[in-house]
Copies of this chain bind each other. A is one copy, B any other.
Amino acid sequence: MLRFNNDYNHGAHPAILKALTDTNDNAYGGYGLDEVCDAAKEEIAKYLQNPQSQIHFLVGGTQANYTVIASILRPYQSVLCAESGHIAVHETGAVEHTGHKVETLPHQNGKITAGQIEEAAVAYETSLIPEHITQPGMVYISSPTEFGTIYTLRELEDISAACRAHGLYLFLDGARLGYGLGASDNDVQLSDLARLTDVFYIGGTKCGALFGEAVVINNPELQKWFRNNIKQNGGMLAKGWLLGLQFLTLFKDGLYMEIARKADEYAMQIKEAFAKKNIPSFIESCTNQQFVVLTNAQMEALEKNNIFEFESRIDDDHACVRFCTSWATKQEEIDSLVADIAAL
Contact = CB atoms under 8 A, between A and B. Distances in A.
A101 interface: yes
A124 B39 CA distance: 29
A9 B23 CA distance: 12
A339 interface: no
B135 A228 contact: yes
Residue from A59, A230, A238 having most chain B Cβ neighbours under 10 A = A238
Contacts of A71: 74-75
A24 to B, nearest CB: 4
Number of copies: 4
Contacts of A74: 71, 225
Interface of A: 3, 6, 8-12, 14, 17, 20-21, 23-31, 59-63, 66-67, 70-71, 74-76, 78, 89-94, 96-102, 128-135, 205-206, 210-211, 225, 227-239, 242, 310, 328
Contacts of A239: 8-9, 11, 205, 210-211
A14 B230 CA distance: 29
Given A24-B10, A62-B236, A242-B210, A134 B231 contact: no
Contact of A130 (B59, B75, B128, B228): B228
B10 A30 contact: no
Nearest to A70: B75
